[in-house]
Each structure stands twice: as structure tokens, then as C-alpha cells.
Structure 1
Amino acid sequence: MRKFAYCKVVLATSLVWVMLDMFILLYFSECNKCDDKKERGLPGRDDGLSRPRDGPGEGGKPVVIPKENQEKMKEMFKINQFNLMASEMIALNRSLPDVRLEGCKNKLYPDNLPRTSVVIVFHNEAWSTLLRTVHSVIDRSPHTLLEEIVLVDDASERDFLKRPLEQYVRKLEVPVRVVRMEQRSGLIRARLKGASISTGQVITFLDAHCECTTGWLEPLLARIKQDKKTVVCPIIDVISDDTFEYMAGSDMTYGGFNWKLNFRWYPVPQREMDRRKGDRTLPVRTPTMAGGLFSIDRDYFQVIGTYDAGMDIWGGENLEISFRVSERSQYFNNLDRLQAVLHVNAWVSVFASPGVTKVDYGDISTRSALRQKLQCKPFSWYLENVYPDSQIPRHYYSLGEIRNVETNQCLDNMARKENEKVGIFNCHGMGGNQVFSYTANKEIRTDDLCLDVSKLNGPVMMLKCHHLKGNQLWEYDPVKLTLVHVNSNQCLDKASEEDSQVPSVRDCTHSRSQQWLLRNVTLPEVF
């Protein structure tokens, strides 16, 4: 009997300890979840997807932060360089307006479009913007066209982008894979990693902080189905980094670049509008793409050599791949909507960007060999046939610095803009702001701006080149070394005492201060 009672006591004690252990385990398990959310400082899944449809940011409307939270907002802004507080107030699946043209809404697409893998690279991205990108892809794409979403983590350090992210995307209705780079590798190599493990016939590259709108995917895939050698880019709208307001972009712009190979948006030229015969629902042929957002057939991506893995960060990859595609007689197409040291010397040959000759851009022999293998046309063909509207001067007498004989200073655009005075500064020999062309039209140009004088004794302004001569016509005398402004019959002179960083125009006196050396000048021959 005593033995039986003893066993009961032991059993009861054991049960108490087991229950206590379970309580402690559950308690700390819940605490870990709480700590995880605290560490992220971000909304959980349920909170992010169940807000009212008139909530903050719905319909793409701006989020206004109350005055009492302004200081905290500014501190949070520093984390990702956008208004993180506003982003966290917005649902991960917020609504956006459908700004498509009526003709686009009524277009019909084939049923058997190719399936795509969407590749998104991120590094320390905010939880809200990354997941809002993912949800916009899932919510506004036919699932029959989505092979998968591949998230490539370029060595992020934030804990919420590790296990919590993997657990979150595992529950989504479209396959989402998270791939980790072992070390920080840069956008290009991370994209190449994502492309290599993806399985869709089409690869679509997106940035980690964009939102797809209704009908964004079908037109991209339809163009590739029609021609696998077409690379298709969406129209890029704008999301304010301050209020997260969605603002529709123009469908009447396309991608180009200036002579320093900086990407720029330009109005669609009249020749392209004529080709489309006024139908704005047709894609725009564009000489370059913006960079981060495009779709391409998997096999064709391999044929053209994918990305240049020698590029460490973003910037220039869009031009490099644009040249390869276009010089093989293909075109980029710009249609429908989405928000959101260069190796180009291997492609531009004799038209190398003015001023880059002193830049050590590394070994580009592999890319040069690729150009030969692909039998690409010369860059001059690209300028004449694909991008005839380019601001790059194809015919000029001189390209480089313009140096004053007396002061040994050079003309310098000082990074100023249109309608500002041209500058003059100590010559540094590194090109950049001191690269000017004396064109076959006898203009003095820096990019798409020409030196312009509208009255006697100046000032010398930088205005858009109009190619009508007039106030922008200059005559260079290779013997006297003078630059004569034809309309005023005055000579370009050194800076005045009133402003030591601005050249002047004065009556010609044949003084050394009015003599200028043009780099590699070739007169009168045009090349």
C-alpha cells in the first residue's frame, strides 16, 4: 500500500514538472515571436493584408505623416532612404489605379503565352517594400503565366530577411524561392545567379521596391511570343519616396543617353510616332532600356551573352546589354506599366564616351570577343539606324578640352544646367565637365547644350542646341587660335575680373587671352 502511494506521488510530481516544462517552452516560444516582430519593427502578415480598402496609401494616394511623428519619420527615412514609416502604414497588397489606355484594356492576348520566372534582387530591403513588390506580382499576374518568383538575397544583414522571410513566402499561392549569395556580389552577379536557377522560358527582372499594376505582364510575354529576339521593357511610373503616392508616367517618352553615357528620358521622336500611325497601344521602339525592369527569352539571354559579370554595381548594364541587342538588328519595346567604371567601351569602339580614355575600366577582352562572335554591327550603325536622335556628335572638328593659351585654364560646364553660364577652370585632363566638341556645324557643344551669345560682350550661356547657327555659330581660326562668335563678331576671351570662373566675349584684339587650343583639332576635314 505504501509502495502504491509512493508511486502516485512520483507520478504526480512528474506530471507537474512536465506541465511546467511545457508552459516555459510555450512562453519563451511566444516571446521569441514577439521579439522577432519587435526586431523587425514591421507589420506581421495578417496586419499587412487585412487593412480597410480606404486605408493609408490605397488607390495609390499619398500618406501624410502627422506632425507629432515627423522626427521619428526622419530618423526612419535614413534606414532605406525613403519614408519607411509611410511604407509600413500601407497594406502589402494595396490597391492601385488602372491608368491604362482604353485600347490597352481591350486588347486580347493568346492563351498559350510563355511562362515567366520573376527575378528580384535585394540587399537589406525594407520588409514592406519587398513584400509589396512580391504581392503586386502575384495579385496582378495570371498565375498560369507565373512559373515562380526568385528572390536573390545579396548578403543582407537584417534578421527579418532571413528565416522570417522564408517562412512568409512559403505560404504564398505562387512558388517563391529565396536564394542567398554567400558574400556581397553586386546587382549583376546576383541577377545572374537568379537567372541561372530560374526555370521559366522567359526571365523577367524587377527591382525590389516596385509595384505592378493591372495588366502589366501579358503584353510583355505576348511580344516575346511573337519574336523571341525582342527584349521588352514596361513603362516605369513613379512612386514618391516621401509619400508613396503613385503617379502615372508618360507613354510618350523613351530611353536614351547623353554623350557621357548617362541614361536619360527623352520625348518619343516623330519618326516613331509616324511608324505607329497614331496608335499609342503599340509598343515604342526604344534604343535603350532603363535597366532594372525587362523581360527576355531565356535562350536569347544566353545567346547575347547575358549580363557582363565584371560589373560590380548597378549603372551602365542597361546600355551594355542595349548595344548588344540593337547591334544585332533587334529592338527593345517599351510598353504597358510598372512602377518603380562602364564596360561599354567594348561596344562603342571609336565613339568611346568623351573623357573616359583615362579611366581604368579593367579587362574587357571577353566582352570584345563576344561582340566579334555575335557579329555585331559597328556603333556608328547603331547611332545612324537605331538612335539617330542621339545627342552624340558624329561629325566634329575637335573633341576634348578647349584650353586658354594665356591662363592655361579650360572651358568647364561646372555641372551646370541649361540657361546657365559656361564656366572656366584649371585644366585637369580627366575629361568629364571639360569635354567639348567643336562640331561640323561649327557649334561648341557640351552634351546637348551649345555655347550661345545673344548680345555684345556676352554672357556666354549654355542653351539647347537648335542647329540653326545664329547665336550658336562659332568660327575657329587654327592659325590665330581664335574662336569668333560670328553674329557679334567678337572673340571668346578669358574670364573677367568681375567673375573669375566665367569666360567672356570681347572685341577681337589678337591677344593671348583670346587664343584657344582645341584638343585633337582637325580642320577643315570632317570625320
Structure 2
Amino acid sequence: FRSPVMAGGLFAVNRKWFWELGGYDPGLEIWGGEQYEISFKVWMCGGGMYDVPCSRVGHIYRKYVPYKVPSGTSLARNLKRVAETWMDEFAEYIYQRRPEYRHLSTGDISAQKELRRHLKCKDFKWFMAAVAWDVPKYYPPVEPPPAAWGEIRNVAANLCVDSKHGATGTELRLDICVKDGSERTWSHEQLFTFGWREDIRPGEPLHTRKFCFDAISHSSPVTLYDCHGMKGNQHWSYRKDKTLFHPVSSSCIDCNPAEKKIFMNRCDPLSETQQWIFEHINMTVLEKFNSKASS
């Protein structure tokens, strides 16, 4: 199975050809970015990367880490160095998502540019068209606008959904809205994004976490679960009656204000415990979602 990008330490390659490609860019610092660099280089310079289900490649971890995993700008510098060497005009998409990268120094990349010229490598536009042709469908270069974002306030309770920075399995709860004077501590997480995948994730539109609202039945709690992007249990619809509808279970998000619990229940548009108000709404996007759902 063709793979556009593969982890830097998990593949087998002909040694002679690896060094003809220049190995890894020696200008990359310590850790990070090498998986993109070697993958782009392999494909664009005449090779291919494949997942072979019956193959076995060992990745042996030391009992200790002999170097410090970089923080600050080290990883960002590596990523920019790869982008400037291999991604051509597509590097601009990275800067649109991470404007702070524009002002980082890549170091001298003249040797890498010369290597690319010497090997007669194809351009990145070819890579996107011939190799990674389906990636934009799942990971758009420019993030589409969300349908709604910000706090999610319950009409009956006048409390907000709070995920408490939880991970997979965490049940969502009601809590005093931060904007209403709740103590602003790290434990609160009350900003959410109803995005283009029609799932709901903790975080602001350009900085969401990779957990999604998830429900498994018409009476289950609403929990966080690793986002899979395939809708199903993580597919939601925000309707004109302010209900958050779950198509798979044909039920709506409900709550118990006294116990601060959030759960699924049979939809009742007249029940204020099932009515939720997003802080910000993009009606154009929301109407597009809802018209698609009703067609």
C-alpha cells in the first residue's frame, strides 16, 4: 500500500540508495521533521514508500533518552527547513496555520537545494497530485470555517459544558461558565469547536485537541473519545431549536442541572435542558450542514 509519509524510524531501505539520496538532512536538529524530509525526498526523487502488512521492522528504544527532546523553536525550525527545501509554494499553507514560523531561520539549505537539483527530483505539486492526492480531503491545506465555536451554554441550567482537559473516556459535565466568574484555572476547558467534519472538539477553531464528543446510545453519557473523522458516534447536528442532535442514535444531548451530568436522551425540543447556545455561530456553514443532513 502506497504511503505518502512514513515515520522516520520505522522503514527499511536499500543502504546504497539511502546514501545516494543524501541520507537525512544533517541540518535537522536532534529530533522531529525527519519523517517528512525522507518521505518527500524518496517520492520526489524516484522512489516509493509502501506499507507492507506482512513485513516486520523493529524500532528498538533505549532504556534512557541520550538527548533532550527539543522544546521552543527547535522542532518548528526543523519543520520549516523541510518545507523550504521540498514543499515549494505549498509551504505557504504552513505559514498560514503557523504564522510564527515565518520569522524562524532554517539555517543554510543551499546544499539540500543542490542535492534536489542534482537528483532531478520532481516538484511538490507533482507529489500532491500523484502521491498524496487524497490528503486534502481529510486534511485541507486551509482549515474550512467552523459552524460554531466558543462556550456551549445550557438554557435551563445557565451552566457550560466543561471537559476538564480530559482524555478518552472522560465524561462531559456542566460547570459554572468561566465568563460568569468561575475561577479561571487550568482545570476548566469550556471552549469547543463544531467544525467541518461535523464533530465537536475541545479548543478554538485553529487549535483543537484530537478528542471528540462521542455517544454510544440514546441514553449513554457524552464522553470524549479519540477523533476518527468517520462521523458515526462522533457526528452531530446543531438544529434551529438549539438541540444537539446525534443522528446515529436519533437522540439529543440532555443534562441534569442539579447533578451537572450530561447524557443522551430522546429528543424533546420543548425541554430547555436539551437546548444549548454556542457562543459564536457561522450561519452560512451551519445551514449548509443542516441542508445536507435533510437531503
Q: TM-score, normalised to structure 1's length?
A: 0.32
Secondary structure at the residue paired with 2:238? strand
Q: Could you say which residue in structure 2 is the equivalent of 1:330?
A: 85
5 Å matches for 1:268-279? 275=43, 277-278=48-49
Q: Could you say which residue in structure 2 is the equivalent of 1:471?
A: 233
Corresponding position: 1:484 with 2:233: no
Corresponding position: 1:434 with 2:190: yes
Deviation at 1:508, TM superposition (A): 2.3
Corresponding position: 1:402 with 2:152: yes
8 Å CA contact 1:436, 1:444 repeated in 2: yes
Separation in structure 2 between the aligned mates of residue 328 and residue 481 of structure 1, nearest angstrom:
43
Corresponding position: 1:511 with 2:271: yes
Cα 1:351–1:234 change in 2 (3 A) is closer
Deviation at 1:483, TM superposition (A): 0.8
Unaligned runs of 5+ in 1: 1-98, 111-217, 225-230, 236-253, 257-266, 282-290, 295-314, 333-346, 353-366, 372-384
Deviation at 1:369, TM superposition (A): 8.7
Cα 1:391–1:326 change in 2 (3 A) is farther
Secondary structure at the residue paired with 1:525? helix
Secondary structure at the residue paired with 1:524? helix
Separation in structure 1 between the aligned mates of residue 41 and residue 261 of structure 2, nearest angstrom:
41
What CA deviation, in whole Å up to 9, does each residue of 1:127-171 have, x standing for no partner?
A: xxxxxxxxxxxxxxxxxxxxxxxxxxxxxxxxxxxxxxxxxxxxx
Corresponding position: 1:454 with 2:204: no
Matched letter for residue 232 of structure 1:
L
8 Å CA contact 2:163, 2:170 repeated in 1: no
Q: Could you say which residue in structure 2 is the equivalent of 1:78?
A: none
Matched letter for residue 189 of structure 2:
N
Deviation at 1:438, TM superposition (A): 0.6
Deviation at 1:320, TM superposition (A): 4.5
What CA deviation, in whole Å up to 9, does each residue of 1:6-32 have, x standing for no partner?
A: xxxxxxxxxxxxxxxxxxxxxxxxxxx
What CA deviation, in whole Å up to 9, does each residue of 1:240-296 have, x standing for no partner?
A: xxxxxxxxxxxxxx669xxxxxxxxxx98xx87993624899xxxxxxxxx9668xx
Deviation at 1:485, TM superposition (A): 1.2
Cα 1:392–1:436 change in 2 (3 A) is farther
Separation in structure 2 between the aligned mates of residue 391 and residue 420 of structure 1, nearest angstrom:
28
Deviation at 1:501, TM superposition (A): 4.5
5 Å matches for 1:39-78? none
Matched letter for residue 405 of structure 1:
V
Matched letter for residue 489 of structure 1:
S
Deviation at 1:525, TM superposition (A): 2.6
Separation in structure 1 between the aligned mates of residue 49 and residue 198 of structure 2, nearest angstrom:
36
Separation in structure 1 between the aligned mates of residue 165 and residue 140 of structure 2, nearest angstrom:
17
The alignment yields a C-alpha RMSD, in angstroms, of 4.9
5 Å matches for 1:365-380? 370=103
Deviation at 1:350, TM superposition (A): 7.2
Matched letter for residue 506 of structure 1:
N
Separation in structure 2 between the aligned mates of residue 105 and residue 435 of structure 1, nearest angstrom:
49
Deviation at 1:393, TM superposition (A): 9.2
Separation in structure 2 between the aligned mates of residue 496 and residue 514 of structure 1, nearest angstrom:
11
Deviation at 1:505, TM superposition (A): 1.6
Deviation at 1:232, TM superposition (A): 1.9
8 Å CA contact 2:33, 2:75 repeated in 1: no
Separation in structure 2 between the aligned mates of residue 418 and residue 462 of structure 1, nearest angstrom:
5
Secondary structure at the residue paired with 2:189? helix
Cα 1:348–1:397 change in 2 (3 A) is farther
Q: Could you say which residue in structure 2 is the equivalent of 1:232?
A: 28
- More RCO (CA 8 Å, sep 6+): 2
Separation in structure 2 between the aligned mates of residue 277 and residue 514 of structure 1, nearest angstrom:
52
Cα 1:277–1:410 change in 2 (3 A) is same
Separation in structure 2 between the aligned mates of residue 277 and residue 368 of structure 1, nearest angstrom:
29
> Matched residue pairs, number?
210
Separation in structure 2 between the aligned mates of residue 408 and residue 390 of structure 1, nearest angstrom:
36
Separation in structure 1 between the aligned mates of residue 199 and residue 18 of structure 2, nearest angstrom:
50
8 Å CA contact 1:413, 1:434 repeated in 2: yes
8 Å CA contact 1:399, 1:437 repeated in 2: yes
Separation in structure 1 between the aligned mates of residue 10 and residue 284 of structure 2, nearest angstrom:
53
Q: TM-score, normalised to structure 2's length?
A: 0.53
Secondary structure at the residue paired with 1:434? coil
